[in-house]
């Protein structure tokens, strides 16, 4: 089936949609592709710990099935034959959803697929495995759990961001082209930022959470993670859609989120919000410089970039914290009473304050949340997107607990979990320390196509896409 020669490293970093085209043209076999990436994963996984459960035999079987269908002229869609890493809080039938926790390590296998995985499987995607996370998508990188924390491919002595850590690290390392993460306070966008990939938190309600272990019901999102913007738009199209079992799910028709991709940004208005990284948390100067360059690059492409303001980060962060504490404690209350010692110390420390929250605290947080959402929506009523920081620092050494605790809250991702607007992070440069630098773009609710259009233009102008970690 192979009319073209590819090295393992070349295959590892080909964009997903390019690989799919090679499959369709019968220039590359899904089985050959699987074997190349499986070999790479087996080489790198001992260093990076991207998986709770790597599933090469399932991957091979699904790749063989896809190859048979492609050879017979059967096409299931643009992701046919491509492997996907699934964060291990998302159910895959026949595999235990551990949430990276001793609490669920010995739980029975899931009996049904989460809707997002069911949709991908129907489109011919293959399962690469269940990727590592922070315990229950909370806490941080922990060494007191049944599985080790993932590490950053750009420098394995550093963490890769979380909680969708394994998905982000595996993508950046060239182990797979597509992955799913979840985002309650920034957990798709943090590893995207730290690993130099693309991660989207969609509009609240756009992607089903059915079959996904919850952290905070009113903040949780499932999002696509890829190495470039175009692949991200394709993955979102595959997983988006109404789910009657998810009470937050919205009823919207299917969309082609890449339809505006190459339309450019000439005449679009971008609100640049520097207060987050200049005032609220003073960022590393290289982070600040990369954001200023991103603004100038969009301007050079014809966008109208204007500095604008939003409420302080501390207000968004406090609202996010109260809601996660309250909703998270409600989910974990029984286990915290019966098995507190089975949680990682950092997870337990973050969940227990929920026991002391009153109803008034939670209700007041939700009232203020509405006001903050209105402030962001008002800015997006006059602008096509917001440009702002993601993290204020590059990732800390994974063994430096104090530095992780200091730097993790220095970010501006949580505002958009509070408000529900779609937000995307992408790599735009490298820090002198060799770790990625990123920017965040935010658009109006359900305006993902416009968000991808701006992100694709910035991606091309920045020239970071295609950079590989020194593995």
Q: Is 71 exposed, middle or buried (0-12, 13-18, 19+ CB in 10 A)?
A: exposed
Tokens of 65: 């099935």
Q: Give the whole-angstrom CA distance, residue 362 versus residue 84.
A: 37
Q: Give the whole-angstrom CA distance, residue 177 versus residue 70.
A: 19
Tokens of 111: 């009996």
Query: How far is CA 18 from its chain centroid?
Result: 21
For 333-342, give one letter per residue: b (16+ CB within 10 A) or e: eebbeeeeeb
Q: Give the whole-angstrom CA distance, residue 200 versus residue 266.
A: 23
Q: Out of 87, 102, 130, 201, which one is annotated catalytic? A: 87
Q: Give the whole-angstrom CA distance, residue 101 versus residue 339.
A: 12
Nearest to 92, CA basis, from 60, 63, 59: 59
CB atoms within 10 A of CB 466: 10
Q: Out of 163, 208, 258, 346, which one is annotated catalytic? A: 163
Nearest to 376, CA basis, from 319, 303, 461, 325: 319
Instruction: Judge whether 201 counts as a catalytic residue.
Output: no
Q: Is the peptide bond before 163 cis (omega within 30 degrees of 0)?
A: yes
Q: Out of 142, 150, 164, 187, which one is annotated catalytic? A: 187
CA distances from 143 to 140, 169, 183, 336, 398 (A): 10, 17, 22, 20, 10
The label of the residue with tokens 């948390």 reads 281
Q: Give the whole-angstrom CA distance, residue 244 versus residue 182.
A: 20
Tokens of 355: 């026991």
Instruction: Judge whether 26 counts as a catalytic residue.
Output: no
Q: Return the active site residues.
A: 87, 163, 187
């Amino acid at each position: 089936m192979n009319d073209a020669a590819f090295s393992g490293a070349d295959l590892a970093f080909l964009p997903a949609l390019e690989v799919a085209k090679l499959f369709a043209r019968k220039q590359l076999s899904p089985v050959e592709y699987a074997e190349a990436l499986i070999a790479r994963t087996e080489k790198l996984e001992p260093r990076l710990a991207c998986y709770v459960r790597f599933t090469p035999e399932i991957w091979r079987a699904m790749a063989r099935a896809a190859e048979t269908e492609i050879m017979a002229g059967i096409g299931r869609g643009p992701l046919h034959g491509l492997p996907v890493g699934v964060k291990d809080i998302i159910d895959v039938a026949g595999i235990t959803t551990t949430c990276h926790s001793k609490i669920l390590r010995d739980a029975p296998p899931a009996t049904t697929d989460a809707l997002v995985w069911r949709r991908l499987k129907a489109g011919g995607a293959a399962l690469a495995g269940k990727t590592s996370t922070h315990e229950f998508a909370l806490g941080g990188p922990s060494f007191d759990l049944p599985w080790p924390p993932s590490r950053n491919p750009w420098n394995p002595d550093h963490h890769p961001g979380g909680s969708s850590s394994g998905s982000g690290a595996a993508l950046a390392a060239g182990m797979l082209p597509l992955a799913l993460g979840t985002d309650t306070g920034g957990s798709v966008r943090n590893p995207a930022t730290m690993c130099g990939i693309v991660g989207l938190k969609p509009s609240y309600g756009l992607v089903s959470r059915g079959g996904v272990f919850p952290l905070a019901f009113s903040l949780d999102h499932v999002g696509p993670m890829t190495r470039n913007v175009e692949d991200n738009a394709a993955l979102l199209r595959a997983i988006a859609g109404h789910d009657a079992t998810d009470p937050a799910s919205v009823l919207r028709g299917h969309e082609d989120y890449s339809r505006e991709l190459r339309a450019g940004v000439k005449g679009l208005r971008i609100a640049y919000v520097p207060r987050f990284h200049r005032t609220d948390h003073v960022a590393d100067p290289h982070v600040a410089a990369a954001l200023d360059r991103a603004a100038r690059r969009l301007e050079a492409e014809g966008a109208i970039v204007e500095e604008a303001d939003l409420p302080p980060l501390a207000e968004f962060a406090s609202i996010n914290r109260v809601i996660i504490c309250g909703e998270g404690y409600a989910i974990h209350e029984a286990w915290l009473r019966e098995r507190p010692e089975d949680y990682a110390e950092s997870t337990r420390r973050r969940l227990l304050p929920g026991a002391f929250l009153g109803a008034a605290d939670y209700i007041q947080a939700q009232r203020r949340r509405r006001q903050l959402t209105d402030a962001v929506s008002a800015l997006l009523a006059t602008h096509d997107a917001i440009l702002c920081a993601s993290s204020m620092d590059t990732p800390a050494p994974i063994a430096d607990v104090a530095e992780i605790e200091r730097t993790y809250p220095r970010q501006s991702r949580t505002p958009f979990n509070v408000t529900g607007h779609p937000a995307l992070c992408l790599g735009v440069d490298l820090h002198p320390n060799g770790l990625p630098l990123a920017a965040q773009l935010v658009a109006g609710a359900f305006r993902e196509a416009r968000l991808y259009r701006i992100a694709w233009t910035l991606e091309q102008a920045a020239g970071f896409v295609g950079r590989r970690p020194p593995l």
